[in-house]
Amino acid sequence: MKVTVDQAFWDLFPTASITVMSLYGIDNTVDEAKDPYFKELLDKGAKRAWEFIDEENYTQSEFVQEWRQAFSKFKTKKGARSSIEALLKRVHQGREFYPINPLVDLYNSVSMAYALPCGGEDMDKLVGGLSLGQAKGGEPFFPLGAEEDAPALEGEIIYYDQEGAVCRCLNWREAQRTMLTEETKDAVLVIEAINEEQASRAREAMIELHTKIVKYFGVSGKISYLITTNPILEVE
């Protein structure tokens, strides 16, 4: 399977870096007896997130503003925000985080700790590889719980495969078709960075995530980096 970042993305974000981890053979089954472990991980991630939050107004944080500026460079659905802004907003509001499934909990805890968007797809549900690029418009997309198609907009930055969009507005909203579930065995995880400072944090974040994955699943993933001069990854 290939992971590809199209030239249209690099034209908008020439200093970006997409950090990728491929995982095979995990057991992502939810075990409620382990909920306290994941709740503690999420709580620790939320606590670390305060390093990146403006206590008076979270939207004024540079770590929120740089993603808002990024979203202003392409067509977005009204109200769309980076996934990390949504997480930081919840932290700022003092809202609790509860376990979803092991892999999602692990990457959410790291996402908050480093103030970077993290996401993942079920590799076995992807059709013909995973790409990040600019939508032509009309790519089918069914978010979690939706019964009607919510197709991508022309010019929107999306993750997609041969069947349609799998994540819209970068890491804003996930498709039900390829989302990580308890049944996921093989996965591809992504951490987004749009400048060099973020890329440095992303490398540290993915290493920490890998450590947590090895500790919990007993499976070692492969980490790769996609940049403008290396935009294609052959996932092994």
Strand partners, 174: 167
pTM of the full structure = 0.96
Strand partners, 187: 23, 122
Q: DSSP letters of 57-125?
A: -GGGSHHHHHHHHHHTTS---TT---HHHHHHHHHHTT-------HHHHHHHHHHHHHT--EEEEEGGG
Sign of CA dihedral 158, 189, 174, 202: negative
| CATH match for 2-234 among 3.50.40.10, 3.30.470.20, 3.90.1150.10, 3.40.50.1820 | 3.50.40.10
**Where does the chain have alpha helices with state H?**
7-12, 35-49, 62-71, 83-92, 102-114, 196-217
Give the model confidence (pLDDT) of 75-103 as tens digits.
999 999 999 999 999 999 999 999 999 99
Alpha carbon distance 136, 165 (integer Å): 11
One-letter amino acid of 98 = Y
pLDDT band with cut points at 50, 70 and 90 for residue 146: confident
What lies within 8 Å, CB to CB, of 233 at 6+ separation is 2, 3, 4, 20, 224, 226
Give the model confidence (pLDDT) of 191-226 as tens digits.
999 999 999 999 999 999 999 999 999 999 999 999
